[in-house]
């Protein structure tokens, strides 16, 4: 059965002291509140080992923001799957829209990264989604289909059940454009249908699909109530404990 998940992507934010404070606040919240979803964070790589120490009892999943497709070698600045495994990290984001935009990542890169993570027993959170011009031209289904098939459809049925997908409509992130809960549901249902066509409905029903299009405290409950939306990949709102916890509570009835 698929999981409800709220994952906070900190991106390149917070100095060490600020990161420690936010982690302590999140740990305190988790100790004192029952949540109806799993909670993950993806802090900057510099803080991953520290985060694993803070959440040593598994209160919060700890994910990298990116991982190398290579096992080791002369790849300056990269982090390998083995390095993540050695600190007991839970997994990594793969091909976030900002990695695609600013670092030229493709779904072929994503495919190799997803496989590398799965081979070590770590969880990939694979990100996809269309840009504004692709949405306006009505190509959003085509774009998401191509992304999903290239990145994931070389996996076995057992492997794809271990992948978390995060649908990010790039046009609804920091652009002033707003996606409705119904638009989120429409694409989530489409992604799930692609998986069902390839692997069968039972497999598709086990894959968690998160929404990454500017989820905020005031829209989280509506978005999370959609039948094919299993949570959110949260950006800016994950940097403030009050906002992040209110989003987590979007799963409370």
DSSP state of 87: T
Is 242 a residue of the active site? Answer: no
* Closest of 235, 233, 214, 218 to residue 4, by C-alpha: 233
Q: Annotated binding residue at 200? A: no
Q: What angle do CA 64, 67, 70 make, to 5 degrees?
A: 155
Is 140 a residue of the active site? Answer: no
Tell me the sheet residues that pair with 211. 167, 232
Which residue out of 96, 109, 140, 188 is catalytically annotated? Answer: 96
Q: Annotated binding residue at 212? A: no
Tell me the sheet residues that pair with 123. 91
Q: Which residues contact 238 (CB under 8 A, 6 or more apart)?
A: 8, 9, 10, 41, 244, 247
Q: Annotated binding residue at 9? A: yes
| Rounded alpha-carbon distances, angstroms, from residue 247 to 2, 21, 121, 234 | 19, 19, 28, 9
Q: Annotated binding residue at 57? A: no
User: For the chain, where are the E strands, in sequence order?
Assistant: 5-9, 38-42, 61-64, 91-94, 123-128, 164-167, 209-211, 231-234
Lookup result for tokens 């429409």: 186
Which residue out of 98, 105, 130, 168 is catalytically annotated? Answer: 168
The CA dihedral of 240, 225, 251, 231, to the nearest 10 degrees, is -60
Q: Annotated binding residue at 3? A: no
CB 46 within 8 A of CB 56: no
Q: Annotated binding residue at 61? A: no
Using left for φ > 0, alpha for ψ between -120 and 50, and beta otherwise, residue 95 falls in: left
Q: Annotated binding residue at 171? A: no
Residue stretches of the annotated binding site: 9-11, 174, 214, 235-236
Residues that are catalytic: 96, 168
Which residues belong to the annotated binding site for substrate?
Answer: 9-11, 174, 214, 235-236
């Amino acid at each position: 059965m698929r999981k409800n998940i709220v994952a906070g992507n900190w991106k390149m934010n917070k100095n060490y002291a600020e990161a420690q404070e936010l982690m302590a606040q999140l740990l305190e919240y988790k100790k004192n509140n029952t949540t109806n979803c799993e909670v993950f964070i993806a802090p900057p790589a510099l803080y991953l080992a520290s985060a694993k120490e803070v959440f040593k009892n598994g209160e919060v999943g700890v994910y990298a923001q990116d991982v190398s497709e290579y096992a080791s070698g002369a790849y300056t600045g990269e982090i390998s799957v083995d390095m993540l495994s050695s600190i007991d990290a839970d997994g990594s984001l793969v091909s976030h829209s900002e990695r695609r935009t600013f670092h030229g990542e493709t779904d072929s890169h994503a495919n190799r990264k997803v496989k590398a993570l799965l081979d070590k027993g770590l969880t990939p959170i694979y990100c996809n989604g269309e840009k504004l011009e692709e949405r306006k031209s009505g190509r959003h289904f085509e774009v998401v289909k191509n992304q999903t098939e290239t990145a994931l459809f070389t996996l076995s049925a057992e492997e794809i059940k271990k992948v978390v997908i995060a649908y990010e409509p790039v046009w609804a992130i920091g652009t002033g454009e707003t996606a409705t809960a119904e638009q989120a549901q429409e694409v989530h249902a489409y992604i799930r249908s692609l998986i069902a066509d390839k692997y069968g409905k039972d497999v598709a029903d086990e894959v968690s699909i998160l929404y990454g299009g500017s989820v905020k405290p005031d829209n989280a409950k509506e978005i999370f109530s959609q039948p094919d939306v299993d949570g959110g990949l949260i950006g800016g709102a994950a940097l403030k404990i009050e906002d992040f916890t209110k989003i987590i509570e979007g799963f409370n009835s």
